[in-house]
Amino acid sequence: MESTLRRTWAEIDLDALAHNYHTLHRRIGPGVKFLGVVKADAYGHGAIEVSRTLEELGADYLAVSSIDEAMELREHGIAMPILILGYTPPDQVERLIKLHITQAVTSIEAAEAYSAEAVRCGGTLQIHIKVDTGMSRLGFLCAGAQFDACVAEICDVCRLPGLASEGIFTHFAVSDEGDEESRAYTQGQFDLFCRCIEAVEAKLEHPFALRHCANTGAVAQWPQTYLDMVRPGLLLYGCGEFAGELGLRPVMTLKTTVSTVKTYPQDTSISYGRRYVTPRQTRIGVVPYGYADGFFRSLSNNCSLLTAHGPAPVRGRICMDMCMIDLTDLPGVNAGDEVEVFGVRNSVNDLAAAANTIPYELLTSVRKRVLRVYLRSGAEIGRELLLRL
Ligand SMILES: *Cc1c(COP(=O)(O)O)cnc(C)c1O
């Protein structure tokens, strides 16, 4: 069923996505491949439409977090290479092979289990080996005394039957920071990664086709880390601290509407808990955007939404499905008018800062009941409401 409701919706500007892709592609140069990170439903933008657009634009690879996310893309006709960054149980190897999905391998135990399964079903699983150079999350630990053992293990993985080691990668912990200590840490991670690759390649006959490590922070600040492929997420969506200086545009604009407007006398308390009391006669609008849509309740009394006539402060506690905004100084705003929560005019970076979090969390918090409206050349080309209608 298709919703025609314009309650609260996210406009996904696929032209902005294309602009960001081309801008980043010019930055990395023709010799470097481009992997677009589309995990978590493409950071809340809708993984299918975003992936379709990236495929048309000529991106080389996609990355998701799980086999479920990878299968969603295959089932909707995405044919390009997909890398699963997270863990997949070995009993899914046959499916990975059949669907041409590449799996990250983060330990010798997992590699052996994948290999046994691949041999059993008579296929070859494409893998990218994950090296832990200082993120301390997934991957083969290669710092300090573990270096030689790590190199030996990775060589063992590459020699296992049924596995094709197409790539090797690592992940930076502070590539988006600019202070001396962080820069030294990132340089250390990169140097260790390069030493590890060099040692492994020296022992094996074949070099890795795809060596990659550059996430958003590194694409913006560390051109020397691009290697064979870059792996940005947030930049692609035109958000975060580097997007502006790189000339990127926000892809998502989250909009809602003023549903009713009422004027209250001075000393009226607004919403649950009575945490806002009108200091004067106050004109309050109700907008259908609450914490069950992805708003952060911690932003109660602590942020503004943008109307056509200027910012309207949120007053009182944010409720599950609604919140209240102050229109006293915005007499031109009336019931039915559009309000931007974040996006092209009201930066998600500012709202994230007010919520004491990062734009990633606000983007990925936009809930399934918020309609996604896909725009191309200013016209709507599709919409998705992810409810079980
Ligand atoms: C999420 C993720 C990325 C993308 O990170 P951004 O900061 O959004 O660019 C890249 N690589 C890995 C392994 C990730 O998990």
Buried b (16+ CB within 10 A) or exposed e, 63-101: bbebbebbbbbeeeebebbbbbbebbebebbbebbeeeb
Same domain, 118 and 259: no
Q: Assess whether pLDDT exceeds 70 at residue 5.
A: no
Nearest CA to ligand 1 atom 13: 171
Q: How many structural domains are present in the chain?
A: 2
The residue from 194, 214, 237 where one domain ends is 237
Query: Does a structural domain hold residue 16?
Result: no
Same domain, 210 and 311: no
What is the pTM (predicted TM-score) of this model? Answer: 0.96
Instruction: Looking at the structure, tell me whether residues 292 and 366 fall in a common domain.
Output: yes
Query: Is 121 part of any domain?
Result: yes
Which among 381, 287, 269 is positioned nearest to 330, based on CA atoms? 287
> What pLDDT is attached to residue 6?
66
Distance 321 CA to ligand 1 centre (A): 31
What's residue 389's pLDDT? Answer: 60
Does one domain contain both 194 and 289?
no
Which amino acid, one-letter code, is at 352?
A
Q: Are residues 257 and 176 in the same domain?
A: no
Indicate the top mutation candidate among 45, 85, 102, 360 to test ligand 1's pocket, ranked by most ligand atoms within 8 A of CB: 85
Q: What is the pLDDT of residue 7?
A: 86
* Cβ(54)–Cβ(21) below 8 Å: yes
Same domain, 227 and 283: no
DSSP 160: S
Domain residues for 362?
A: 252-384
Average pLDDT over residues 17-25: 98
pLDDT, tens digit, 9 for 90 and up, residues 192-250:
999 999 999 999 978 999 999 999 999 999 999 999 999 999 999 999 999 999 999 99
Average pLDDT of the residues in 329-344: 97
- Cβ within 8 Å of residue 79, ≥6 positions away: 55
List, for residues 159-168, the tens digit of each pLDDT value.
999 999 999 9
Measured in Å, residue 188 CA sits from the centre of ligand 1 at: 19
Catalytic residue check, 33: no
Measure the CA–CA gap between 264 and 278, rounded to whole angstroms: 8
344 pLDDT higher than 70: yes
Domain match, 320 and 206 both: no
Atom of ligand 1 lying closest to residue 360 CA: 8
Residue 82, C-beta contacts closer than 8 angstroms, at least 6 positions apart: 61, 62, 63, 64, 70, 73, 74, 100, 101, 102
Looking up tokens 């100084």 gives 329
Q: Tell me if 245 is assigned to some domain.
A: no
Give tens-digit pLDDT for 35-80.
999 999 999 999 999 999 999 999 999 999 999 999 999 999 999 9
d(CA 61, CA 228): 12
Look at residue 1 and tell me whether its pLDDT is greater than 50: no
Answer yes or no: is pLDDT of 337 > 70. Answer: yes
Pocket (CB within 6 angstroms of ligand 1): 37, 39, 85, 171, 215-216, 231-234
Summarised one tens digit per residue, pLDDT across range 288-307 is 999 999 999 999 999 999 99
Question: What is the Å distance from ligand 1's center to 65 Cα?
Answer: 10
Averaged pLDDT of the chain: 96
Catalytic annotation, pick one of 39, 130, 237, 374: 39
- Assess whether 179 and 297 both reside in one domain: no
Same domain, 214 and 264: no
